[in-house]
Amino acid sequence: MPKPHPTSALVAGLLFALAGACASAAEGGKSLYLLGKRGPLAGLIPKPGWYVTNDLYYYSASSSELVPISGRVNQGVSAEALINLLQLTWITDLDLIGGRLALGALIPYGRVEIEATASALTPPGLPNALGKSDRVTDFGDPVLAASLGWKHRNGDLFRAWNLYSSLFIPAGSYQLGRISNIGANRWGLDVGSAFSMANFGTGREVSGVLGVTFNGENPDTDYRSGTDLHLELSARQHLPEGFAIGLAGYYYQQLTADSGSNLLGDFKGRVAALGPEISYQFQAAGRTMGLDLRWYHEFAAQNRVEGDAVFLTLSLPLQRDSAGAGAR
């Protein structure tokens, strides 16, 4: 019998270790909740009507740790995504305990590409590869959202806050064994609260979001990502001619460990991010519209991918502004 080549033996050993142990938290190395999406004025629910928000989202990240993706355990992962998120929101005129009810739906569509220097299917015994990469362009998981918001103004001081919930529906593109999936193949529920405070005299504004995401099980991989917490903050200074500049950031922490087959240890994901933000509010077609550009640079990642995220957000009402009133 011919003697195995040393490199082949090394690869076989690495893939066996990959197939038998998963050391990264949250399947796919990411949360269902899109970190950084809720930016400025996150606590404000506008006046009744229909609103459209379109986010163009770019994300580039990598990790040298083991990452579970679609039934495969992968090492040396690099990921890139360009996704458009179209959201339609109906602000009702219904008054509930003094607050205004909002209902919305979001549909993502875009491209995800992931490469791994080593990849193994779990359980062991299925085909493995020293390197694997693939790409998908398709629809992601739709999201249904509801929120209830309040606001109060006293002179130049303005406060707004809301309670929200988002339901993630596993209807996006997903294929077992494919490491690039835009859908997660699991249900999820995110609940939380957002606030915004502004001083019209100084032009300063601060917003924040605190939420918790509960993840269902991926039935194709028998993998359940742990419950995670996310915190987002935004601080802006409003300038003349509708411009505003500021800083935005987020913090993600997995609260409970993942569960399922082929796990090794009690691993929990964590990451933080900070970056600049610039906004522009303008009038067009009788409507007050807003453009917002945010860049988040991630750091202090643990048991998940780490990289950079960019959001370009356009928000507008479908109805024309009433006399003397803006979209917000």
Q: What's the pLDDT tens digit per position in 104-113?
A: 999 999 999 9
Biggest CA-to-CA distance, the chain? 87
State the pLDDT at residue 23. 38
Within a domain: residue 248?
yes
Out of 1-15, 36-50, 71-85, 314-328, the most confident range is: 36-50
Q: CATH no. for residue 122?
A: 2.40.128
| Residue 193 structure tokens | 């609260």
For the segment 120-146, the average pLDDT, to the nearest whole number, is 74
Asked whether residue 323 is domain-assigned, the answer is no
Which pLDDT score is estimated for 1? 42
Query: What per-residue confidence (pLDDT) applies to 24?
Result: 45
The pairing of beta strand 204-215 with beta strand 49-63: unpaired
Residue 1 in domain: no
Contacts for 13 with CB less than 8 Å, ≥ 6 apart: none
Judge whether 328 lies within some domain: no
Q: Is residue 324 part of a domain?
A: no
pLDDT tens by residue, 221-260: 888 888 999 999 999 999 999 999 999 999 999 999 887 7
Determine contact, residues 66/49, Cβ cutoff 8 Å.
Answer: no
Q: By C-alpha distance, which of 21, 2, 140, 110 is closest to 72?
A: 21
Residue 94: pLDDT band (50, 70, 90) is very high
Q: Does 322 fall in a domain?
A: no
For residue 27, is pLDDT > 80? no
SS3 call for 66: coil
Mean pLDDT of the chain: 84
Q: Is residue 76 part of a domain?
A: yes
Tell me: cis bond preceding 123? Omega within 30 of 0 counts.
yes
Rounded (5°) CA angle 36-149-104: 60
Q: What's the structural domain count of the chain?
A: 1
Q: Is residue 326 part of a domain?
A: no
- Decide if 38 contacts 53 (C-beta within 8 A): no
Q: Which domain holds residue 86?
A: 6-317
